[in-house]
Structures are given as C-alpha cells and as structure tokens.
C-alpha cells in the first residue's frame, strides 16, 4: 500500500517520510486519532514503505528484484516481516486451554484489509462472526509476538509489528508487551494504531512516540468521493461536510440503507415515545436496542449524542454550525426546541453513562430502559 492510497493527511505522511530520511525512526510509534481519519491506512503505508514498497520512485531497497518481490508479498499482506496484532474473540467450542491470538483469524484479517484499509471494529466483528462477543487482545497474543520477533528478518531489513487498538489488551498481555517494548528486538518497529490512548498503561505510552492524526480535510474527502466513487461535485460537497473528517461516515452516507438511517428511526421513536410518556412502548423500544450487539449499542449511543448536539446547535439558526443529513434536519425543524440550555448537559451526561455501562457489560435492557425513563423527565425541562 502506498502513501498515495491514503486519503489526505499530507502532514502526517511527510512527517513519517522525514523520520526515515533523517534516520530517526523510533522503536515504537503510536498513531492516535478519531475514527475514519485513516490511522490504519497510514500505518499500513508506512509499514509497506519500511519493507520496500516504492513511494513514487523511492524505495528503501536498492535491488529491483527485491523491490518487486516485496511489493508482490505486500499486495496480499503476506510479507514474512510484517506482523499484525488485533483484538479477537474466542469462538464457541474453542478449547479452554487454547490462548487465542491474531493467527487464529489472520486469513479473515488479510481478506478485510484487501477490501479496504478503512474499517471499523464492527466490520471486524462481523468478519469474525462475533455475535455479541467483545474482542480483546489476550496473553496468547503477546506470547506469539515474542516468538515471532525473536527471529531474524527474513529479508534482511526491518521487522514491523502493527498493533491495532492496543487499548483492548488485557492486563497480562499489556505487561508482557511492555517488557518487549523496553528491550525491542533488533531492527523491529512497532506501530500502534490507537483510538483511546487514555486506556493504555502509562508505562507503555511513555515508550512510544505519539503522532496525532487529525480529521481528514473536507476538501480531501470531497476529492476522494469524486475520484474514487464517481460522485458529482455538489453531492460530494454535502457528504464531505456532513462526514466531518470521517471517511467511513462519508461512505455510510452513500449507502441508501446505512446504519445511521436506522439509528435515526430509533432516535425519533425514543424522543416521541418519551414526549408521550408511553412507558409500555418505551420498554419495547429498549428491548429492541438491547438485541443489538454491544458494539452496535455503543455506536447508537454515540450517534444519539451527536444528534443531540446538532439539535441544540440548530436552535441558534447558524447553518455553518450544523452538520446533519437532509432526513435529520427534517425531523429537527420541529424537535430541536426540546433540546435547550436546561437539559442538554444532563442528556449528554446520561448518554455518556449509558455508553460506559454498556462497555462494562451491564445488562443492556436495564441500561436502555432506564435511559428511556429519564429521557421523559429531561425532555420537559425548559
């Protein structure tokens, strides 16, 4: 994968190139940024460059045959010096003695990367057929990584370890990885791709060089939609603005049956039933949401928080401050007045608590029914 395949992010690309040019590549890099910003795409492009992929006409390898060989292996993500670590589940029926690792799902992982370097945790859970299970990086992963990285580079250059969402490591895995970072194997580069760095051990963070990846510029998303998706300029401009720097969100808006449209329907139902104080129907609503997988439940809460914010800003009648689809704006014209200074903070706090509780495996039916009941009280505040 080349840097040119990454949407926007020219500043980050140049910084990574400079690390190589100036011989200042740290043993551990941590790319942090919001969802859809292209962190993983940048990690893959940088790893590919370190392993011989050409950036324009430039390659770290000098032999044309070695370059061609490296690019052929990287095209399938099967380079022997590139190692992936990512959260996995433990499928039903797996032996209790088996410690799960990325190797158990590597073929599915590679297949997903070949489709696109832009993806979500939900996409990965779907690829693993995870149902309601939550994915983690366990001790089995660190054991396998130590074995792999103890070997010499098969191609005589760098060994690269990409760790996707290291914040999902359990304590045992994190402590073992820390020892590996403290004494990294020769010519080994770790690239962590992180969305919630605050959840990582401070001792791990202190051993990384952090690069914050910003949201993608609207102009870059607009251009990518026109060039890669053949979208007309006017439509691409509106989608880019709504996407707010998130390429995945831009793609969702191209899909007529995208998840956010379903979330909007559930949001509208919640607000109407709460306004009507229809407790029986609110209970049914909470059971429907509870039937979602936990990752989807968390995404619904995040979507609701976002729409609450947009409705609050809509009251100021400043179009530049609002980022809603046409369907969302149609509902908000009449609903926005119910989100005001008297309740917007408490509603946001309520949703944050629900998201935290779901992340801690609380009973989803109780969490969402409680949320619905409290929404009755909060909506009438003026």
239's tokens? 């989608």
Structural domain boundaries of the chain? 3-214, 246-380
The 10s digit of each residue's pLDDT in 7-18 is 999 999 999 999
Same fold, 3-214 and 246-380: no
- Residue 235 · residue 34 · CB < 8 Å: no
Q: Output the CATH code of domain 3-214.
A: 3.40.50.300
CATH entry, 246-380, from 1.20.120, 1.10.3470, 3.40.50, 1.20.272: 1.20.272
The 10 Å Cβ neighbour count of residue 206 is 10
Question: What are the residues whose beta carbons fall under 8 Å from the beta carbon of 144, sequence distance 6 or more?
Answer: 101, 102, 103
Q: What's CA 203's distance to the chain center, in Å?
A: 23
Question: What SS3 state is found at 336?
Answer: helix
Residues of the chain scoring pLDDT < 50: none
**What is the rounded distance in angstroms from the CA atom of residue 194 to the CA atom of residue 228?**
27
User: In the 8-state DSSP scheme, what is residue 41?
Assistant: H
Q: Are 38 and 118 in contact (CB under 8 A)?
A: yes
| pTM strictly above 0.85 | no
* Element at 250 (helix H, strand E): helix 247-252
The DSSP annotation for 120-153 comes to -HHHHHHHHT-TTPPPBB-HHHHHHHHHHHTSPP
């Amino acid at each position: 994968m080349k840097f040119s395949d990454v949407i926007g992010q020219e500043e980050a690309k140049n910084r990574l190139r400079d690390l190589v040019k100036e011989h200042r590549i740290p043993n551990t890099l941590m790319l942090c940024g919001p969802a859809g910003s292209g962190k993983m795409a940048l990690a893959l492009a940088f790893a590919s460059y370190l392993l011989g992929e050409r950036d324009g006409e430039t390659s770290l390898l000098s032999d044309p045959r070695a370059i061609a060989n490296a690019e052929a292996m990287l095209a399938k993500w099967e380079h022997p010096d590139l190692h992936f670590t990512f959260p996995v589940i433990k499928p039903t029926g797996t032996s209790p003695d088996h410690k799960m690792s990325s190797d158990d799902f590597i073929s599915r992982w590679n297949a997903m990367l070949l489709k696109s370097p832009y993806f979500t945790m939900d996409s990965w859970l779907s690829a693993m057929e995870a149902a309601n299970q939550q994915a983690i990086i366990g001790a089995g992963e660190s054991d396998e990584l130590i074995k792999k990285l103890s070997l010499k580079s098969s191609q005589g250059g760098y060994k690269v370890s990409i760790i996707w969402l290291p914040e999902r490591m359990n304590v045992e895995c994190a402590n073992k990885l820390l020892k590996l970072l403290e004494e990294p194997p020769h010519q080994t580069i770790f690239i962590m791709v992180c969305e919630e760095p605050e959840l990582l051990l401070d001792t791990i963070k202190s051993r990384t060089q952090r690069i914050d990846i910003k949201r993608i510029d609207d102009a870059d998303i607009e251009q990518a939609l026109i060039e890669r998706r053949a979208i007309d300029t006017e439509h691409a401009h509106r989608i880019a603005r709504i996407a707010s720097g998130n390429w995945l969100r831009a793609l969702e808006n191209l899909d007529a049956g995208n998840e956010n449209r379903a979330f909007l329907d559930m949001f509208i139902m919640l607000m109407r039933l709460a306004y009507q104080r229809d407790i029986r129907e609110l209970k049914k609503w909470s059971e429907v949401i509870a039937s979602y997988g936990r990752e989807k439940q968390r995404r619904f809460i995040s979507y609701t928080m976002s729409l609450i914010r947009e409705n609050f800003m809509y009251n100021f009648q400043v179009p530049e401050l609002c980022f809603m689809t046409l369907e969302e704006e149609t509902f908000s014209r009449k609903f926005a007045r119910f989100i005001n200074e008297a309740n917007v903070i408490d509603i946001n706090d309520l949703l944050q608590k629900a998201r935290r509780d779901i992340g801690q495996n609380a009973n989803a039916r109780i969490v969402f029914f409680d949320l619905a009941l409290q929404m009755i009280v909060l909506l009438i505040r003026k």
